[in-house]
Structure 1
Amino acid sequence: MKSPLIKQDDFWEVEYVNKVIIYKTINELKRYVKGEVVESLVEHYYKSDQLLQKNEPIKQGVLSHQKLIQHIYFVYFDQMSAVNNVRNIAGDLARQARKAKQFKLIVTGAHPLKADTVQQWCEGFYLGDYEYKGYQSEKRPARKAFNLVLDVPKQTDISAAIKRGFVVAKSQNMARDLANTPANYLTPKEFMTMTKKRFSKTGVSIKVYDKKSAKKKGMGAFLAVSQGSSQEPYLLELTLNQSKEAPIVMVGKGVTFDTGGISIKPSHSMSCMKGDMGGAAAVCATMSALEELKVKKHVKALIPLVENMPSANAYKPGDVITAMNKKTIEVINTDAEGRLILADALCLATTFKPKLIIDIATLTGACSVALGNVASAVLGSPQNVVDTILSKQDDVGERLWQLPLYDEYLDYLKSSVADFTNCAENRLAGTSTAAIFLKQFVGESSWVHIDIASTMENKSTKGYQVKGMNGSGTRTLIQAILTTS
């Protein structure tokens, strides 16, 4: 059956209007469009059983009033698929707006839009419009302004939702920028400099541990990873709202480039390793969002920054190193370096007597093997804090999947010369064995580990996901901080 409405290809030459209609039931949608030009279109899609499809919105071109071109998007709102449908359509439309001479978007609902939907639209627009500026010699044209109209009840105060949406998206784009930056431009020192600049006139304080102060603290694992590089290591301690209240502490892996060290990676596995500081980027961006949203909670962020390089000074397989908590570690593979720098950062986190520690890292290739590129792994203890993180994923739109943290996995890390090894000699349960290793450094603290290796990079552009480093985990961290009491 053909569509009853007229299509026109050359729509960029006239005023271009996009209208998005969000609905929860077919009857609700039919009532909303009754008497409108799209009523027959809704009936057409209803008869062809397309209006309850969950994976993709329905898009249709419409010609009316001679010079007004509309694209009508019908969005069926259904939990996770619907949440990301909102962001995805907004992201696609943001990129369309770059091309149009005139562009107007009307977002409405067969039922009134709520604040959380408004926030998702704002996030999707800002995330979908992202482009890494990079270092190309030719400057790109400036963005054009366009109108965004959100149809909400008059009594609804959406200003907070709009602000939060744009702040959250801007922060994820900050994480994207950091992770997309080539490693010769974003060294550990440059990351430190950029972080200081971002928070220089804010209420966020920064303490820097250099090689000397890290050695004084006994951070042998952190320092071992860095010793093969000519770039100095730094560990940043960021504090928001210092108080006697027990803090929430975030820890983000910051390997600004990872060759694998002496256990060197194959070349095809190395080109994206400028993004091996994705955890650090997400943590830094989250602090930026919390500061801008004027969150009143006591929050700390620990960001260990190193390069992992092979050289005559590099740490080696077979070495035994000592972490800040005096635990000894036999190095089996120097490419299992992220967990070593996190180990000392986690030890430092416990000294603050935190109510919760959340670490985030591009930690294991095994995470991608287990989950593909559609979800990040989450592990931790006790279970109730993991459940809290998992319960927010539908709202956040970042998928998480819990992997097991069985005590038996520690047997995979047995060593005859140290307390344990830095990785298993077999390839079994790689994400879980990495997490059980990290658990040895959090003491009795409540702790959640998020492995974003699987979601660190987008291979193509679609919806609000843009090709390149993803800024993965930023929205999850922001939501976790906001909802932790």
Structure 2
Amino acid sequence: MKSPLIKQDDFWEVEYVNKVIIYKTINELKRYVKGEVVESLVEHYYKSDQLLQKNEPIKQGVLSHQKLIQHIYFVYFDQMSAVNNVRNIAGDLARQARKEKQFKLIVTGAHPLKADTVQQWCEGFYLGDYEYKGYQSEKRPARKAFNLVLDVPKQTDISAAIKRGFVVAKSQNMARDLANTPANYLTPKEFMTMTKKRFSKTGVSIKVYDKKSAKKKGMGAFLAVSQGSSQEPYLLELTLNQSKEAPIVMVGKGVTFDTGGISIKPSHSMSCMKGDMGGAAAVCATMSALEELKVKKHVKALIPLVENMPSANAYKPGDVITAMNKKTIEVINTDAEGRLILADALCLATTFKPKLIIDIATLTGACSVALGNVASAVLGSPQNVVDTILSKQDDVGERLWQLPLYDEYLDYLKSSVADFTNCAENRLAGTSTAAIFLKQFVGESSWVHIDIASTMENKSTKGYQVKGMNGSGTRTLIQAILTTS
């Protein structure tokens, strides 16, 4: 099949254009290339048993024809429906092509892309090509952009899928950038400044609660966490109001650095804590995507921003603090700080009479113990809203696993001096006890909690995943907003 997007008479002889040929079976591939100059290359790889290798789905070849040298990437799609198969192959291909300095690619093949996989292809390609710029003294050369052409059946409208795929990937990369930024560069104030800059002259309005206005609101839990740091706390309220319906409210944990406070972390557990604002990054990036996609929804985002530091002014184990809803909390461990800043943000969320609250946070190490680094935890109530989030995970490509939210977990938080403690004194059901704590601040609102502590960071580069902070949860939030009626 010749590409409708390419006007040359001979598709295979487009000068300086490199091909990505997708196929599912050898016979399918042979039929596709029959009579073309690439046929000999396919036959060579077939005879030497270099095609259809599941552990290495991308095979690169070099084709010389009439003084023209082209790079051909054979991409084997074994199971098109497998979660993230498309994104992973696209991500691997992006890095391989950049390594070979092949910046113009035409994606075609015996098994052409359908509209429903185009978005995944675009996401995987641009997510896999991500690189954090960093702060090296030697300036890096500007990265050359790819020219990516997708070959689809005629009459197929893929413009919306391409745009959504690009915007979603761009937004997750924005979340990655935020979470990868060192904490001395991304303080609560700098996060606020950056957010204001991103949404200036857009349809997103921003209200900022500083220490004074937060105190006036009664946000004692939020302020307690911040008091050990010299960095001022801020709570951002972002609003995209394109509908008269009740809002969907996102809440993202924004601890720009977490030492653990007085209950200080061991050094080996602290190095990645610049990313403890991963929830805030995902929420901010999601609002960016919604604004760029011109989504006709009423959406709010609440982003509490603090540092959790030990000092003479820091809050202490044994302290009793009062949240915005007047609930009192005995502090057992100052390293269970994320739930405290979320508590006041959730209280604020309820004042908007939302149709749904979704909070997202790098909340508990227990989440990693339970799920490893391959899935995030989801909890909430009522069950139907949790089911809706879970039902989209294969399309989104971010695995979620529901953990229980039994009422009995509240017994683990009993206090003799306050309404409850901020964490259990034992290590049982850590993710669930954190969620049952948060539930005390959402009232009767429909609410979903996503714990991304397990997926916040990639330890290596593979597929569309790139080593470093992951921007986890961004795609899930975007999909949740788009599909919530």
TM-score with structure 2 setting the length? 0.90
Q: Distance in 2 between matches of 1:2 and 1:168?
A: 29
Deviation at 1:322, TM superposition (A): 1.0
Stretches of structure 2 that go unaligned for 5 or more consecutive residues are none
Name which of structure 1's ranges 121-130 and 398-407 shifts more when overlaid on structure 2: 121-130
* Alpha-carbon contact 2:175-2:282 (below 8 Å) kept: yes
Deviation at 1:441, TM superposition (A): 0.9
CA deviations over 1:128-184 (Å, ceiling 9, x no partner):
222211211111112234432211122112222111111111111111111111111
The secondary structure found in structure 2 opposite 1:15 is coil
The secondary structure found in structure 2 opposite 1:285 is helix
Deviation at 1:475, TM superposition (A): 0.9
Q: Distance in 1 between matches of 2:24 and 2:213?
A: 57
Q: Distance in 2 between matches of 1:190 and 1:103?
A: 35
* Alpha-carbon contact 2:390-2:400 (below 8 Å) kept: yes
The secondary structure found in structure 1 opposite 2:53 is coil
CA gap 1:342/1:6 in 2 versus in 1, 3 angstroms: closer
The secondary structure found in structure 1 opposite 2:61 is strand
CA RMSD of aligned residues (A): 4.9
The secondary structure found in structure 2 opposite 1:82 is coil
Q: Distance in 1 between matches of 2:424 and 2:33?
A: 60
The secondary structure found in structure 2 opposite 1:305 is strand
* Alpha-carbon contact 1:15-1:103 (below 8 Å) kept: no
Deviation at 1:415, TM superposition (A): 1.2
* Alpha-carbon contact 2:243-2:296 (below 8 Å) kept: no
CA deviations over 1:425-456 (Å, ceiling 9, x no partner):
11111111111111111111111111111111
CA gap 1:335/1:7 in 2 versus in 1, 3 angstroms: farther
CA deviations over 1:305-337 (Å, ceiling 9, x no partner):
000011111111111111111111111100000
Deviation at 1:16, TM superposition (A): 7.3
The secondary structure found in structure 1 opposite 2:16 is strand
* Alpha-carbon contact 2:252-2:359 (below 8 Å) kept: yes
CA deviations over 1:269-328 (Å, ceiling 9, x no partner):
111101100000000010001001100100000000000011111111111111111111
Deviation at 1:369, TM superposition (A): 1.0
Q: Distance in 2 between matches of 1:166 and 1:4?
A: 22
Q: Distance in 1 between matches of 2:332 and 2:269?
A: 19
Instruction: Give the match for residue 53 of structure 1.
Output: 53
CA gap 1:217/1:423 in 2 versus in 1, 3 angstroms: same
CA gap 1:217/1:112 in 2 versus in 1, 3 angstroms: same
Q: Distance in 2 between matches of 1:74 and 1:381?
A: 46
The count of aligned residue pairs is 485
* Alpha-carbon contact 1:458-1:466 (below 8 Å) kept: yes
Deviation at 1:116, TM superposition (A): 2.9
* Alpha-carbon contact 1:61-1:69 (below 8 Å) kept: no
Query: Within 5 Å, which residues of 2 pair with 1:139-288?
Result: 139-241=139-241, 244-288=244-288
Query: Within 5 Å, which residues of 2 pair with 1:89-104?
Result: 89-104=89-104
* Alpha-carbon contact 2:366-2:431 (below 8 Å) kept: yes
* Alpha-carbon contact 1:290-1:478 (below 8 Å) kept: yes
CA gap 1:380/1:54 in 2 versus in 1, 3 angstroms: farther
Deviation at 1:100, TM superposition (A): 3.7
CA gap 1:381/1:42 in 2 versus in 1, 3 angstroms: farther
CA deviations over 1:75-119 (Å, ceiling 9, x no partner):
555668745232223223323343445543221243442223222
* Alpha-carbon contact 1:7-1:61 (below 8 Å) kept: no
Deviation at 1:236, TM superposition (A): 0.4
Name which of structure 1's ranges 362-371 and 102-111 shifts more when overlaid on structure 2: 102-111
* Alpha-carbon contact 1:252-1:281 (below 8 Å) kept: yes
CA gap 1:111/1:212 in 2 versus in 1, 3 angstroms: same
Name which of structure 1's ranges 158-167 and 41-50 shifts more when overlaid on structure 2: 41-50
* Alpha-carbon contact 1:4-1:41 (below 8 Å) kept: no
Deviation at 1:265, TM superposition (A): 0.2
Q: Distance in 2 between matches of 1:261 and 1:7?
A: 63
Q: Distance in 2 between matches of 1:298 and 1:79?
A: 38
Name which of structure 1's ranges 371-380 and 43-52 shifts more when overlaid on structure 2: 43-52
* Alpha-carbon contact 1:8-1:61 (below 8 Å) kept: no
Q: Distance in 1 between matches of 2:44 and 2:375?
A: 36
Name which of structure 1's ranges 22-31 and 324-333 shifts more when overlaid on structure 2: 22-31
Name which of structure 1's ranges 110-119 and 71-80 shifts more when overlaid on structure 2: 71-80
Name which of structure 1's ranges 129-138 and 139-148 shifts more when overlaid on structure 2: 139-148
Deviation at 1:3, TM superposition (A): 28
TM-score with structure 1 setting the length? 0.90
The secondary structure found in structure 2 opposite 1:81 is coil
CA deviations over 1:394-423 (Å, ceiling 9, x no partner):
111111111111111111111111111111
* Alpha-carbon contact 2:41-2:63 (below 8 Å) kept: no
Query: Within 5 Å, which residues of 2 pair with 1:388-467?
Result: 388-467=388-467
The secondary structure found in structure 1 opposite 2:3 is coil
CA gap 1:17/1:83 in 2 versus in 1, 3 angstroms: farther
Instruction: Give the match for residue 364 of structure 1.
Output: 364
CA gap 1:85/1:406 in 2 versus in 1, 3 angstroms: same
The secondary structure found in structure 2 opposite 1:232 is coil
* Alpha-carbon contact 2:302-2:345 (below 8 Å) kept: yes
Name which of structure 1's ranges 415-424 and 296-305 shifts more when overlaid on structure 2: 415-424
CA gap 1:98/1:428 in 2 versus in 1, 3 angstroms: same
Instruction: Give the match for residue 17 of structure 1.
Output: 17
Name which of structure 1's ranges 81-90 and 300-309 shifts more when overlaid on structure 2: 81-90
